[in-house]
Chain A
Amino acid sequence: MTAIALGTAADRPASSAPLAFGLLLPIALVNAIGFLAPVGYLFRMSFNESTGGGGLRETVTLASYVAFLTDPFYLGLVARSIGFSIFITALTLALSYPIALFIHRADARWKTLLTIITISPLLVSAVVRTYGWMLILGDQGFVNGLLKGAGLINAPLRLINNSTGVVIGLTEILMPYMVLALMAGFGRLDRSYEEAALSLGARPWTTFRRVVVPLTAPGIALGCLLCFVLAVSSFITPKLLGGGRVFLLATEIYDQAITLLNWPLAATMSIIVLVIFGLALVLYTRILRVLD
């Protein structure tokens, strides 16, 4: 054991720590200035006191946390953000699962092409995709135009500047992530298991529920974690499709920080988002343990 360890050490330069230090110094500096210091200061800021109108007093107080946790508006914000994100995650899963299953069953040539088509929206800016939904869902948009042309409605359906628009837009934005996560977890799924179940007399729906879903459960859990986390922290789509009428944690962080300049409260809400992230991660690891 010792001999092997010594042998490996002899193959490499004895001490590469000074060289490694030099090579890693630039990235460490960027990380320190752009990540570590900001996150540390964000945490510190959440204990400062806002004196209103953008004023700030350096102190150590839980005032922002107390204000946040005792105000029904903010508690409603947290509840709505979490509820919204769970609903959007479920919808994204329902719409993405068939695509992932289809790609998994397709032959190699189609598999590559369909995978590229599925992830191609990720290369388009979220602003552009959200704007696309405004074209589709607006009062004179694609959907209302079609319905009006068919004589089904007289007044346009209100599909944007409310939560309907946010749900539809975010679901589409998150679908590529969900499909990728599901595909990563589909490795254990073999068509022969389904065929075995079917040949033993199981109905197709029973086969799907009892064979396909359990085998792909780890991928489902991963995709749901990813989409939930992205939904809770999404900003562009709720801001644009919500039209200032849908209040969620991320949009409120921005408004408090940029419009109202209440940095301690914005920092506090950021910490709350991170706590929600942490809880989601804990739940995910629990679920994975149960699945094993």
Chain B
Amino acid sequence: MSKVKSLADLKRVREEALKKQEAKNTASKIQIIIGMGTVGIVAGARETLKAILDFIEKENLQDIAVRQTSNIGMDSWEPIIQVVVGDAPKVSYGKVSADVAQKIMKEHVVAGNVVSEYVIETQ
């Protein structure tokens, strides 16, 4: 059972985050977008997002923006995520289960190698 958290705990969290931000000199911004329309949700998109957030927390990754969108429009490929690393082209992945999401986080987001077997589009 977790202990009750308060806004005072959040203050400490913020101070730690600020320290980490100062320690860094270059920031390579990473953006992850996940399709959360009805079809995506039914296909398991919330679990995919959860796996991504758990990975960020576990691996203590900084500067990753995670966004949702309701409308990617490729139903048969759901759950779909899109990954943008710095100025590189946007990579769309299809049929991203929680396990596949972990793999993409490890290989693409952290190591910089596109996981080609799940790519549906690069633009």
Q: Do A and B come together as binding partners?
A: no
